[in-house]
Amino acid sequence: MRTRGEGRIFQRHGSTSWWCAYYLRGKEYRESTGETDEKKAHKVLARRLKEVHADQIGAKPFVGPQQERTNVSELLDALEADYKLRGKHSPQFKAHLKHIRDYFGNWRAVEVTAEAVDRFIGELLEGVPESADGETRCKAPATINRSTQLLAQAYKLAIERRHLSSAPRIRHLSERGNARQGFFTDLEFRAVIDNLPEHARDFAWFGYLTGWRKGEIASLRWEDVDGDVIRLRAEHSKNGESRTVTLDGPLADLMDRRKASRQVKTANTVNSAAFVFHHNGNPIVDFRKAWATACKMANLQGKLFHDLRRTAVRNMVRAGVPERVAMSISGHKTRSIFDRYNIVSERDLRDAMQRTQAYLVATATEGKHDPARRQPERLQ
């Protein structure tokens, strides 16, 4: 008679195939061996017991029958549900997830290897179809990293929930030199604002003045406004930390406009919008098309909403705001990222050279009239 640690094989009622049963960490696993021959079924059981033993001594994680059947699409579904529960779901998230789903969706999760992920990365670097006519576009390392990071998160979530026991090694591409150099002058920004739809103008103004991210601005509710202070909740902040901004000057005027626009009239009633920035009472989810159209009409193609973040940082530093205070307002957690956004423009360089030349000219002029700086006369 076999002991519990040796497992067993058996036949289910009405089945000609043999099944096997075995234990790991107190849990019983049952699965069909796919064999009608008893001796062959014993060999399947013996292979499983070796895999159980390898897991017990830490040599190799055990992959059970349920884990073998789990495909990547199921992992991504679980990750997407998790993002929705945490309020992190966004069009950008869906776009990055789509690349993973299109490539790995039908794969069994246990079949995805480091080499397979590398092949996926290579194909994105070479170019993927972007339209029905077969036009391809190469993906930047930063874009690829956002997708592969989601794949890694999906595996991590599955392991935490014990749906999987291990994950493939996923390469992270270098993003050196990837920092964008985009920012707006005041005239450029106003030209874009003039071409934006009404509901998006104050939204953009808030980004221009504070440097907050689009998702952070969109999350603001009236309950987050406390007198002359706006408080961003930690769960809506990218770095997971809450922060505040005080209302003064143009920002106070902006909030006065939002208060005046809070009431939304419908056919029969008048309701108060829950969100500070809204469109007919509904939260502003995305206006990329409207933004691209406004930039095109202002002859500023290629400008991103995120360029307002860089612009706000640069404006604060130029205005003499201490860097720690500027970082607190914009929500930059590390100095290295903040430095990437404090961009030096050609005008900055030209101003620096002009000031330097003016200083040298002033110094030379002072030297001519300062007896103490005169060179001693040569002795005859």
Cα maximum dimension of the chain = 127
Ramachandran sector of residue 162 (left: φ over 0; alpha: ψ -120 to 50; beta: rest): left
96: Cβ contacts below 8 Å, ≥ 6 apart: 143, 146, 147, 150
Question: By C-alpha distance, which of 351, 304, 331, 335 is closest to 244?
Answer: 331
Output the pLDDT for position 113. 93
Output the pLDDT for position 349. 66
Residues, the chain: 380
Output the pLDDT for position 223. 95
Output the pLDDT for position 205. 96
Residue 52's Cβ-side half-sphere holds a number of Cα atoms within 13 Å equal to: 20
Residue 343 DSSP symbol: P
Residue 64: phi, psi to the nearest 5?
-80, 175
Output the pLDDT for position 380. 45
Output the pLDDT for position 375. 52
Output the pLDDT for position 379. 44
Output the pLDDT for position 81. 94
Write down the residue that tokens 């998160």 correspond to. Answer: 153
One-letter amino acid identity for 213? R
Q: How far apart are CA 274 and CA 223, in angstroms?
A: 8
Asked if residue 136 lies in contact with residue 130, where contact means CB atoms within 8 angstroms, the answer is: yes
This prediction has a pTM of 0.55
Output the pLDDT for position 66. 72
Task: Map 119-160 to HEC letters.
Answer: HHHHHHHHCEECCCCCCEECCCHHHHHHHHHHHHHHHHHHHH
pLDDT in tens, the chain (380 residues): 555 568 999 999 888 999 999 998 888 888 888 899 999 999 999 998 998 888 888 887 777 777 777 899 999 999 999 998 887 787 778 888 998 999 999 998 988 999 999 999 999 888 765 545 555 567 888 889 999 999 999 999 998 887 787 889 999 998 776 555 678 999 999 999 999 999 999 999 999 999 999 989 999 999 999 999 999 988 888 777 888 999 989 999 999 999 999 998 887 888 899 999 999 999 998 888 999 999 999 999 889 998 998 888 888 888 888 888 888 888 887 776 667 666 565 666 677 778 888 888 887 776 555 555 555 555 44
Question: By C-alpha distance, which of 204, 211, 174, 178 is closest to 190?
Answer: 204
Output the pLDDT for position 368. 58
In the numeric block, which tokens belong to residue 279? 């469109």
Query: Which H/E stretch holds residue 10?
Result: strand 8-11
Specify the 3-state DSSP secondary structure of 371.
helix
Output the pLDDT for position 268. 83
